[in-house]
Amino acid sequence: MTTIAVTGATDGIGRATARRLLAAGHRVLVHARSEERGRPVVDALAGDGGGEAVLVTGDLASLAEVRGLAEQIRDAGGTDVLIHNAGVWVRGAAPRLSADGIELTLAVNVLAPHLLTGLLAEDLAAREGARLLWLGSGMAAAGRPKPTALGGERGPRQAYADSKACDIALAMAWGRRLPTVASAAFDPGWVDTKLAGPGAPGSPDTSAETLAFCATEADLRQAPYWHDHAPTPVPGRLRDQGLQDAIAAVCDRMTGLAAPARS
């Protein structure tokens, strides 16, 4: 039984992916922001297929809670696949800063998955067939992340586009840092979720089908970016390894993570 951790698994694509993986008989670590938010979801998912649903919690807007989440995953026996699905698009009266005083979109969408990956890197590297999946977006093509100005002042739309560009870059940077782990990003398309809002043509179930495929069956070594069951082009400047590594290095500093030694 493969163990697969899915962040942001209480609704949308994350919940639909967890349901598919459970139906296929996998053990799924279902991440929620809190016990109160996650327990009803895990209870509802528990009867789906022959898999096992295990709740893990942590607010990704807090670096301390990301560290606590990593500890829970280790206590649960670790994971063979880590899916970075959770994300935010800051709107309206939502807070603009994280618990650590960092721009919230960067904190949740970029720094949290980077730190979680680093904290679990040693265990992942020791597992045969381990995988890392990062949620990209079609909006990443409009991203203009500057390593020297991550989290700087910008509108919500640009902040989101920049964060998704960073996620694609980090998928490739971590693929080099952990050569035994297959690391790739996934473009879910424009999907009708709380983040995207009404009017999106795609459904969480359709995106979850491809995400589950990437987590369990796809040969991720073929390409670093996937969409609709197939490789898809990486947006131009994100192919630059120098940019990828620079973004990862800044994330190391902002999270207090020591970069792993290259093998």
pLDDT of 163 strictly over 50: yes
Q: How confident is the model at residue 96 (pLDDT cuts 50, 70, 90)?
A: confident
Judge whether 173 lies within some domain: yes
Give the total number of structural domains in the chain. 1
**Residue in this structure with the two tokens 């996998």, named with its chain if needed:** 26
Judge whether 8 lies within some domain: yes
Judge whether 73 lies within some domain: yes
Give residues with Cβ within 8 angstroms of 255, minimum separation 6. 63, 111, 114, 115, 118
DSSP-based three-state secondary structure for 211 = helix
User: Which region, left, alpha or beta, applies to residue 8 given φ > 0 means left and ψ of -120 to 50 means alpha?
Assistant: left
Judge whether 203 lies within some domain: yes
The answer to whether 150 touches 104, Cβ cutoff 8 Å, is no
Name the pTM for this structure: 0.94
Q: How confident is the model at residue 173 (pLDDT cuts 50, 70, 90)?
A: very high
Q: Which two tokens stand for residue 89?
A: 């698009």
Q: Within the chain, how many helices (H) and strands (E) appear?
A: 8, 8
pLDDT of 176 strictly over 70: yes
What are the tens digits of pLDDT across the range 178-226? 999 999 999 998 665 655 555 655 688 899 999 999 999 999 999 999 9
- Mean pLDDT over residues 98-119, rounded? 96
The answer to whether 119 touches 67, Cβ cutoff 8 Å, is yes
- CATH label of the domain that carries residue 157: 3.40.50.720
The answer to whether 247 touches 173, Cβ cutoff 8 Å, is yes
What are the tens digits of pLDDT across the range 8-60? 999 999 999 999 999 999 999 999 999 999 999 999 998 767 899 999 999 99
Judge whether 261 lies within some domain: no
The answer to whether 80 touches 88, Cβ cutoff 8 Å, is no
Q: What is the pLDDT of residue 263?
A: 47
Catalytic residue among 134, 160, 174, 226: 160
Judge whether 263 lies within some domain: no
Q: How confident is the model at residue 1 (pLDDT cuts 50, 70, 90)?
A: confident
Judge whether 192 lies within some domain: yes
Instruction: Give me the percent of the chain exceeding a pLDDT of 70.
Output: 92
160 annotated active-site: yes
Judge whether 260 lies within some domain: no
Q: What is the pLDDT of residue 179?
A: 97
Q: What is the pLDDT of residue 152?
A: 86
Q: What is the pLDDT of residue 85?
A: 97
What domain range includes position 203? 3-255
